[in-house]
Amino acid sequence: MTIPKDTTPKKQLIFPLKVLFEDEHLAAIHKPAGIEVSGNKFKTIANALSQNLKPSSRTDATTPQPVHRLDYATTGIVLVGKTHSSIRALNKMFEGKTIAKTYFAVAIGKMEPSGTITSNIDDKPSHSNYKVVESVPSERFGVLNLVKLHPKTGRRHQLRKHLYSLGNPILGDKDYAVESLILKGKGLYLHAYALEFEHPFTNKIISITDELPEKFGKIFS
């Protein structure tokens, strides 16, 4: 991943973000649905970061940069580096799988109470653990489950593909779905809920959570 040299971004997107954690080295923000984390579009989380975060006073401060991605439709925590050294360190931690990630999803259909999914994605090994927290009957979908997920690898669309491979697609997913069970207009019920890791510079254990979106609470207690 390239690190921007300039500390002031060329384009500033005026887009208020909820900051969940911030210090001189790094930050974590809540990503709403319907916006890309980064990319060629102007409306991205990356372009809104400078306006929402305090500039770092470290000598290697740079334009704040997301160090991982969430899908366009997924909500939840995005981790951000504010200095050259923290961007490098966080990238290494994601590669080394030393950042523990917890997601919540609403999955359709009857499920085993817990399990491990290890089906390959794009011919690469992948691994997710899941636990059903609550199940409610649904007239349209039979059963809806609140599922807690721990991805151990970081493949593209991993959790969406994994739950689909079980026959339990995520509510609101249009790409990995059973045609008759597509819920339109409510978005994807997948949320990056928590991150836990050892801070690369202070060595403190950092635990960040981002409460579930309101729409989850309309289905479950």
Residue indicated by tokens 């995520």:
170
Q: Are 183 and 172 in contact (CB under 8 A)?
A: yes
- For residue 110, the one-letter residue type is K
What tokens were used for 129?
A: 């653990």
Whole-angstrom distance, CA of residue 143 vs CA of residue 106: 10
What tokens were used for 109?
A: 């259909």
How many C-beta atoms surround the C-beta of residue 206 within 10 A?
17
From the number of C-beta atoms within 10 Å of its C-beta (0-12, 13-18, 19+), residue 60 rates as middle
Whole-angstrom distance, CA of residue 63 vs CA of residue 72: 22
Q: Which of 23, 60, 71, 210 is catalytic?
A: 71
**In the chain, helix, strand, coil percent, each to 5?**
15, 35, 50
Active site residue 71: yes
Residues taking part in catalysis: 71
